[in-house]
Amino acid sequence: MTNAKIERLIDANLNRLREALRLLEDVQRYIFDNRELSYNFKNLRHKLTPLYDINRLKYRDIEGDVAKESTNSELKRDSLKDIIDANFSRALESARVLEEAFKLTNPKHSKTAKEVRYELYGLQKKIGLRIIDNG
C-alpha cells in the first residue's frame, strides 16, 4: 500500500466528514434554530482543520473513483429524520476510517478523529432523544 493511496483515503474521508457535519450543523441552525447544537457541529468541523494538508489534493482522483455513482438509497430520503440519520452515519463512518488511516501517518491525528467520533456519538444520542420525545 503506497502512502499516496492512504493520503487519498484520508482526503476523501475528511471531505465526507466535513460535509456531513455541515449538513447537521445547518439543520440545527436553520430548521431547529438551535444555537447550542449548531455550534457543537461547527466546533467539530473546526477541530478537523489541523488534519487537513493541501498537499493531499495531488492524490485526489475524482475521474478514477470506481464507486462515485450514488446508490438508489442515497438518492431518496423520506423525511428530515432520514437526512439526519444518513449524515450521522456518514460522519461516524468517516471518523472511524480517519482514526484508522491516521494510525499509519500521524497518530496524533488519529486521536483527534477518535475524539470527534465520540463527540458525535453523544450528539447523535442527544438529537435522537429529542426526536423520540417530540414524536
- Taking phi over 0 as left and psi of -120 to 50 as alpha, with beta for the rest, 117 belongs to alpha
Spell out the residues 6+ positions from residue 57 whose beta carbon is closer than 8 angstroms to its own: 11
**Least confident piece of the model among 3-7, 30-34, 42-46, 70-74:** 70-74
Average confidence score pLDDT of the chain: 90
Global pTM value? 0.88
What value does the mean pLDDT take over residues 34-39?
97
Alpha-carbon distance 92 to 101, whole Å? 14
Q: What is the pLDDT of residue 63?
A: 74
Q: What is the pLDDT of residue 34?
A: 95
Q: Which is nearest to 101 in space by CA: 1, 32, 3, 6?
A: 6
**pLDDT tens track for 62-106:** 777 766 666 666 667 789 999 999 999 999 999 999 999 999 999
Q: What is the pLDDT of residue 64?
A: 74
DSSP letter, residue 71: P
Q: What angle do CA 28, 47, 92 make, to 5 degrees?
A: 65
Evaluate if residue 129 carries a pLDDT over 60: yes
